[in-house]
Structure 1
Amino acid sequence: MGSRAEGEGCAEPDAYLMRAGYALEGDGGCIADARRHAVAFLDQVHTDHHLHIPARTRDLTQLVVSELVTNARKYAPGPVLMELRITARAVDVVVWDSDPTVPVPRAADPGRIGQHGLEIVKAAAKDLFIEQEPVGKRVTARLALSDPASSDTAARPLA
């Protein structure tokens, strides 16, 4: 399931250690299902690769999953696909939906109720990529594994 460096037998720093894809149903429980998939994915990474996942990154991953899947369900008809990928440095949350319209963050407005999802994702993510596809679009939020609140500057394997 993980990527390996050619001839070295170990993962490169930016190679995906693990990837998983999920087709999400359009019912009301799909957002909670997506969050559960994210937690299970991070737990599996920790178990299989002994990679330290800071609590902040776990929480932000669930938040970003919630926001991106909510937006996809709200604004795009049809299926929603989610892929989770992880390197030694970052977690990618990728959500595909069938609407080709590229979302645009709205100007800050403390009086506005709702429609803050993309603003939240931009604030939480290290990088945000939005790509139009032949059908629909793909939104990728990259979350750093380092926890700026601690003295760690990068994710580290557990001993």
Structure 2
Amino acid sequence: MNVTRSKTHRSPIRSKHALHLKRAGATATEFAIVLPMFLLLVFACCDFARVIHFRQLVANAARVGATHGALNRFTAATESDWRNDVVNVMREELAHLTSTDPNDSVIDVHFRDLSSGVRVVETEVTLPFRTVVQWPVLPTEIQVHHHAEFHQFR
């Protein structure tokens, strides 16, 4: 029995190769669609992590300043030196933020005396945070603010 092949019949090797080429094209198309969304998600996560880290360092600076101010007493004659010391301690803490200049910060140090005779030291730090990516609906700069207060020790 003599079997002849028709011209339309393809060998299994050629059909596997053609299927592989079609699948490779589909994979490239899927990658081109998914890659921008993946990069958007990665950059969003990076900016979110940076703002949390930034917020923590600003809060630490305010707490360190309030603690330093509460530990060191002052008189009316030494009040300005006391304020300068507290501000310098806070600026040193903000120096850990390598992406910003600590001189961009707004630092406020004040105190109040309670009726019980206890002095409360209050510090406030405000520093601008700038995102890496300019998001379409979000601001590119956010003012990060923290307030801390401690009672002065007797």
Same fold (TM over 0.5): no
Greater Cα radius of gyration, structure 1 or 2: 2
TM tier, smaller: 0.3 to 0.5
TM-score, scaled relative to structure 1: 0.34
Q: Which has the higher helix share?
A: 2
**TM value normalised by structure 2:** 0.35
